[in-house]
Amino acid sequence: MSKTTFPSFKEGELAVYPAHGVGLIIGVEGRNVLGINTNFYIIKILDTEATIMVPIDTASSVGLRKIVKKSQVPKIYEILKDRKEVILDNQTWNRRYRDYTDKIKSGCVMEVAKVLRDLYVLKMDKELSFGERRMLDTAKNLLVKELSIAKNIKEEKVEEELHRIMQK
C-alpha cells in the first residue's frame, strides 16, 4: 500500500496553513531530522512574512490545504448569514475562547467563518473581552485574505461584503 500525500503543492502555489493564513510555497527542502531525511515545504505567510517549514509527509494532517474554491464561497457566506446556528449560552469567555481557538487551528475555512459569525453576534449582545476581540480580528483577517484570493478581488471588496452580511 503506497502512502499518498494529498494535497501536494508546487513552488509558487498558494496554500493555507491553520491559524496563520495564506502562504506562498517558496520551495521544498530536504533536512536530516534525528537521522531521518525529511522533505519540507517552505512557506512564506503573506500577512506576516513568517517562514514556516512543514514536513511534506504530515502536511495534510497538520491542516495545510489548498485555497478554498470560488464555488465554495456562497457556502461560507451562508454560514455567516445563519444566525440560528449561534448559541449564546452562558459559557465563560475563556471557555468560548478555547472553542474558537480550536476552530481556527482546525484550518477549516467553514469553522473560521463560524467563529467570525459567532463573535460578531456576541458583540451585538455584549462587549467582547480583549481576547475575543483579537479572535474576531484574526478570523476576519484569515477569511478576508483567503476569500479575496478565491474570488480574485481586492481584500477591501471582501471586507465590504463581509460587513454587509454581518450587518443583516
So what's the architecture of 70-167 in CATH? Up-down Bundle (1.20)
Domain with CATH 1.20.58.1290 in the chain: 70-167
pLDDT digits (tens, 9 = 90+) for 86-119: 666 667 777 888 999 999 999 899 999 999 999 9
Per-residue pLDDT of 1-52, as tens digits, reads 344 444 689 999 999 999 999 999 999 999 888 898 999 999 999 999 999 9
CATH topology of domain 1-66: Thrombin, subunit H (2.40.10)
Domain(s) labelled CATH 2.40.10.170 in the chain stretch across 1-66
Tell me whether residue 109 is exposed, middle or buried, using C-beta atoms within 10 angstroms of its C-beta: 0 to 12, 13 to 18, 19 or more: buried
**What is the reported pTM?**
0.87
To which H or E segment does residue 24 belong?
strand 21-33
